[in-house]
Homo-oligomer: A and B are copies of this chain.
Amino acid sequence: MTSTHSTRVDVVVIGAGLAGLTAARELVAAGRSVAVLEARDRVGGRLLNHDLGDGQVTEIGGQFVGPTQDHILALAKEVGVATYEAAVPCERVYVRDGKARRFAGHTPPDLLALPDMGIALARIGRAAGKVPPAAPWRAPNARDLDGMTYETWLRKAEVTGDAVDLINIFLNSAYGGEARDASALFSLWYVSTFGDEIHPGTMERGTGTSGGAQDSRFVGGSQLVATRLAEELDGRVHLSAPVRRISQDADGVTVVSDAGDWRADRVIVAVPPLLASRIVWDPLLPPQQDQLFQRLPFGTLMKCVAVYDTPFWRAEGLSGMGLLRGGSPIREMFDNSPPDGGPGVLMGFLGGKEWRKWAHRPAGERRGAVLRSFAQVVGERAYDTVDYVEQDWTAEQWTRGGPTSVAAPGVLTEYGEWLGRAFGRVHWAGSEFSPYWNGFMDGAVRSGRHTATELLHQS
C-alpha cells in the first residue's frame, strides 16, 4: 500500500479496453498527459484474439460489428483495421430436439414458431420504441416495466413459449443469461440501444447478421483495433498494473497500482462497474453509486472454438451458422474462420443456463458435448479438430463474466440516474455507460469519447 514515488500526469485512465484507450487517445489529442493502467498483460479487455499460426487469428471475445456502429467502424478505419463480411453466403442449420434442417436466409424453418416470433418482434419493437436510450427510467411506464422480469413481460405480451425460447437463444449470447435475469425495462431499453441517434434500435438489427450487429468482422481480429490504439499511445499504456486503491483529495487523485503509484488531476475509470466496485475507494463511492454497482452483475459466457484444416462445411453449401434448440450446450454458432479461408473455425456460445450446467464439468466431457452440437450443424467431420479452445470469461480475473452487465428489476428506475455520474475527480467510461450499443464495441468507443469530452470541459 505504501510507495516512495508517484508519477504525475494530467489524467490516469484505468483499463485499456476500447473505452479507456479511446478516452486516452482523445485526451492526448487535446494535449493532456495521460497514463493508462491496465491490470492484464495485454490490452483489449473483452476483446481477445486467438492465434491460429501462420499470421492467422480468430476471436474468443467480442468480434462482430455492423451498420449504425459508426464509432467503432470509423475508429478502426483510422487505425488501419479493415472489415470483412462475417456471414458465408451458404445455408444455415436449424436444430430442434436433435433434428437438423438446412435453410437459406435469416428465417429458421419452423412453421410453428415463426408466426409467434413475428408477433413477438412487433410487440417488442413497439414497447422498445417508447424507451429513451439515454434515460430509460423516463419511459412512460418505466416503473411498471421495472417491476417485472423480461420473462414475465414476454408472457404478459402473449409471446409463446416457442418465441421466448428463440429470444433466449439471443439473450444467451447477448446477456450471458435469459429473459428472467433482467428487468423488462432493462431488456426493452437494451433493444432501444441497437441503433444510433438517427436509426431507432430494433431487435432485428441486434440479432441480425447481414445488415445487423453480426454483419462484419475485423481483418486481423477485433483486438487489433485495441493493439493499434495502444501503439499510438506510445509508452503511455502500463500493463500488469492492477489498480488497488483510488484516493481523492482537494488537489488531485492518487492511484495505487501493483506497478506503482500515479498522481493525477482527474481519473477515468474504464473497467466494468462490478470491477470498479472492488477497488478500495477513499473516500468511499457514494452509497447510491455503490448500490448501483452492486446491482450490475455480469452474465455468464464461454466461447468454444474448434479449428479445422479447412472450412469444410462451405463445400457442402453450409455457412457453419446454426441455431440449436432443445438441450444442446451450444445454442448459437458461427463460422469464425479468418477472411482468406485458411483454417476453418467454428465458434459456439456456451452461455447463461447452459454455462451454469456445463462450466464446472470436466473439460473433456464439455468438449465432447460442444463438438456434438457442432456435428449436428456441419456433420461428423466436426470431431476432426486440429485444435479446440475455450474462453470462459467468468474465470478471467479482470472481467469475471460476459459479455456485459445486466440489470435485474428495480435497478434502472431506482439507480439508473447514477450511471456515469462523475464522482468528484473520477469519471466513468465503458460500454455499460453508453446509450447506444450498450455492451458492444461501439458503445465502448462512444463512451470513451463522451467521457473524454466531459472531462475536457470540466478541467
Among A52-60, A85-93, A177-185, the stretch in contact with B: A177-185
Number of A residues with CB within 8 Å of any CB on chain B: 43
B148, B180, B360: which contacts A146 (Cβ < 8 A)? B180
B258, B295, B359: which contacts A287 (Cβ < 8 A)? B359
CA–CA, A295 to B277, complex, Å? 13
Q: 0/1 per residue, A245-270, Cβ < 8 Å to B?
A: 00000000000001000000000000
In A131-156, which residues have CB < 8 Å from any B CB? 146-149, 151-152
Given the known A-B contacts A295-B297, A297-B295, A415-B356, are A409 and B149 also in contact in the complex, defined by CB atoms under 8 Å?
Answer: yes
B181, B356, B395, B397: which contacts A409 (Cβ < 8 A)? B181
CA–CA, A5 to B37, complex, Å? 30
CA–CA, A198 to B31, complex, Å? 71
A7 within 8 A of B: no
A147 touches B148 (CB 8 A): no
A-B contact pairs, 25 of them (CB 8 A): A1-B1, A1-B258, A147-B149, A147-B152, A148-B149, A148-B180, A149-B149, A149-B410, A180-B409, A244-B244, A244-B280, A274-B294, A277-B278, A284-B395, A286-B360, A287-B392, A287-B395, A287-B400, A290-B400, A291-B298, A291-B300, A291-B401, A294-B401, A408-B408, A408-B410
CA–CA, A153 to B243, complex, Å? 43
Report copies per complex: 2
In the complex, what residues of B have CB within 8 A of residue A181's CB?
Answer: 408-410
In the complex, what residues of B have CB within 8 A of residue A284's CB?
Answer: 395, 397
CA–CA, A210 to B171, complex, Å? 48
A310 within 8 A of B: no
In the complex, what residues of B have CB within 8 A of residue A395's CB?
Answer: 284, 287
A394 within 8 A of B: yes
CA–CA, A359 to B280, complex, Å? 22
CA–CA, A450 to B288, complex, Å? 34
A353 within 8 A of B: yes
CB proximity of A260 to chain B, nearest CB, Å: 13
CB proximity of A88 to chain B, nearest CB, Å: 33
CA–CA, A401 to B409, complex, Å? 18
A204 within 8 A of B: no
A309 within 8 A of B: no
In the complex, what residues of B have CB within 8 A of residue A414's CB?
Answer: 353, 356
A291 touches B149 (CB 8 A): no
